[in-house]
Amino acid sequence: MDHFNKNVHSVTKVANEVRTSAASNEQSKQLDIATFIKKTYQLFAASLMAAATGAYIGMQMAPSIATWYWGLVILEFIMLFGVYLTKSKPGLNLFMLFGFTFMTGLTLTPLLSAVLALPAGANILTNALLLTGVAFGGLSLFAINTKKDFTTMGKFLFIALIIMIVAGLINIFLGSPLLQTLLAAAGAIIFSIFILFDTQNIIRGNFATPVEAAIALYLDVLNLFISLLQILGIFGSDE
């Protein structure tokens, strides 16, 4: 009987140790994810500042930006690839991240100049910024609190993005205001869903590095802002 009790005690002890270990591992995982999320949003905020700096400098030298625009766009895409290639290399990854986001600010110059040239240009720009901020905050909170899983929408979003890019390239030659308006509206919807998709992937720790997560979130917000600015600019110019 004593032998049986000892065995039961041993089994119970082992079970308790397993539960304690599992709880400890879960706490450690949650702490790691919390640290990851904090780092991601810090990098995201810094990226927005880098982009704002680029846009400010670009507006001061708008004629030069217009002259070198396509060269800057090519450099921007090179740096974007660089961000992903160096995402796990400390120091270099941050240089590429902030270099890229700074470049996106510079290449916004023609769009910003066109909008600000409108009679209500300053108001249009302010409204686009406010709408983007409100949409980002609302969508982020919804993604965090909803039970709906948006992380399964990757394939749909990828296909929608490819279709939008192809349509945009076609419209370079067509120059259709209607198609441009439809593309801007589609972009606002698609990148709003991208915010839901990427936010849930971030809070679940599905990105490999904070840099990769931050650039995904930044691209979502940047493209949402561009889409909203185009929509407001189109309707503002009609007035």
Give the span between the Cα atoms of 227 and 71, in whole angstroms. Answer: 23
If one counts every other C-beta atom within 10 angstroms of the C-beta of residue 71, the result is 9
Per-residue pLDDT of the chain (239 residues; tens, 9 = 90+): 555 455 545 545 544 554 544 444 555 556 678 889 999 999 999 999 999 999 999 999 999 998 999 999 999 999 999 998 988 888 899 999 999 999 999 999 999 999 999 988 899 999 999 999 999 999 999 999 999 999 999 999 999 999 999 999 998 898 888 899 999 999 999 999 999 999 999 998 888 899 999 999 999 999 999 999 999 998 876 55
Q: What residue spans of 68-153 are helical by DSSP H? A: 69-85, 92-107, 109-116, 121-145
Looking at residue 129, its pLDDT comes to 96
The two tokens of residue 194 are 């991208």
* pTM for this model (two decimals): 0.85
CA angle 33, 38, 41 (to 5 degrees): 120
DSSP 172-218: HHH--HHHHHHHHHHHHHHHHHHHHHHHHHHHTT-SSSHHHHHHHHH
Which residue, 149, 150, 144, 131, is CA-closest to 221? 131
Rg (CA), the chain: 23
